[in-house]
Amino acid sequence: MAELGVNIDHVATIRQARMGIEPEPLQAALIAEQNGADQITIHLREDRRHIQDRDLKLMRRVIQTKLNLEMAANSEMVIIAKSILPDIVTLVPEKREELTTEGGLNMEMKNLKEKIDELKSAGIIVSVFIEPEPEMIKLADKFGCNAVEIHTGCYANLKNTKEINEEISKIEKAAKLIKSAGMKVVAGHGLNYHNVLPLVKIGLIEEFNIGHSIISRSIFTGLAEAVSSMKQLLG
Ligand code: PXP
């Protein structure tokens, strides 16, 4: 069974809409863990639009599974990661004006290898969020990444069956390449209770990071049910 990372940024987004104290993301993390999540994923953005530094500190102390910190590959974030020590850091591209992470990380960005080395030497597992492109995967391997998270946003946005099938085979080829290089195969972004199934069927993806669809469903079913239903699909 593939592992499920539940992204709870969206809970923090609702809290920040009123700059108040509810809903509490930590409570969401605990409910997710109690209902089958294998890890909690949070993105500390440069503009702190949802997850705050206090959330990261609290999660580190309280959650019992794994903490996956998504962050930009910059010096400020590397310092924070080295002081909090999440289990995993997933390096993502970040633009202030975007609604959510758009596109994968450019593995050719300046000083990326140094940032990866610094995180790894602090004992943190390093994953990179990239497009299913062989050149990017080869660089992830060359830079010593432990895992690659395939950006599934393009797949999730497609409507045409032929294009969807082409994207699935691209993701499958990428997964094979990642696995053959000895890195963990992860996927995420835009996945929901329907479009995750063809990716599960590939049989090579070891972990999925899913947020928006789980939190959206939880409004109607409660978070426990939303997490456990997704977890069942990954089996
Ligand atoms: N993985 C990464 C690297 C992401 O940036 C995000 C969005 O924050 C997700 C997974 C989850 O995406 P979604 O909320 O669309 O499920």
Ligand 1 pocket test, candidate residues 4, 6, 7, most atoms within 8 A of CB: 7
Could you give the number of structural domains in the chain? Answer: 1
pLDDT of residue 48: 96
178-182 LR contacts (CB < 8 Å, sep 24+): 178/137, 178/140, 178/148, 178/150, 179/204, 181/137, 181/138, 181/140, 181/141, 182/141
pTM metric for this prediction: 0.96
Q: What is the pLDDT along the chain (235 residues), one digit of tens a residue?
A: 999 999 999 999 999 999 999 999 999 999 999 999 999 999 999 999 999 999 999 999 999 999 999 999 999 999 999 999 999 999 999 876 667 667 899 999 999 999 999 999 999 999 999 999 999 999 999 999 999 999 999 999 999 999 999 999 999 999 999 999 999 999 999 999 999 999 999 999 999 999 999 999 999 999 999 999 999 999 8
- Which residue among 3, 33, 50, 70 is the active-site one? 70
pLDDT of residue 235: 87
Other residues' Cβ atoms within 10 Å of the Cβ of residue 61: 9
Q: How far is the CA of 209 from the centre of ligand 1 (A)?
A: 6
Ligand 1 pocket test, candidate residues 100, 102, 130, 184, most atoms within 8 A of CB: 100
- CA-nearest residue, atom 12 of ligand 1: 189
Closest CA to 114 of 148, 74, 149: 74
Q: How far is the CA of 212 from the centre of ligand 1 (A)?
A: 8
Q: What is the number of residues in the chain?
A: 235
Q: How far is the CA of 122 from the centre of ligand 1 (A)?
A: 25
pLDDT of residue 95: 75
How far is 62 from 49, CA to CA, in rounded Å?
A: 22
- CA-nearest residue, atom 6 of ligand 1: 189
pLDDT of residue 197: 98
Q: Would residue 203 be called left, alpha or beta, if left means φ above 0 and alpha means ψ between -120 and 50 degrees?
A: left
pLDDT of residue 97: 66
Pocket of ligand 1 (CB under 6 A): 7, 9, 43, 70, 90, 92, 100-101, 129, 149, 188-191, 209-213
- For 9, the token pair is 């940024």
Instruction: Kindly give the residue spans of alpha helices, DSSP state H, lying in the chain.
Output: 9-18, 25-34, 53-62, 75-84, 112-121, 134-142, 153-157, 161-180, 196-202, 212-221, 223-233
- Cα separations (Å) of 42 from 150, 180, 203? 17, 28, 26
- Domain range enclosing 94: 3-233
Alpha-carbon dihedral sign for residues 21, 25, 28, 34: negative
Closest CA to 152 of 183, 130, 173: 130
pLDDT of residue 13: 98
How far is 67 from 144, CA to CA, in rounded Å?
A: 20
pLDDT of residue 103: 81
Q: Which helix (H) or strand (E) covers residue 184, if one does?
A: strand 184-188
Q: What CATH number is associated with residue 62?
A: 3.20.20.70
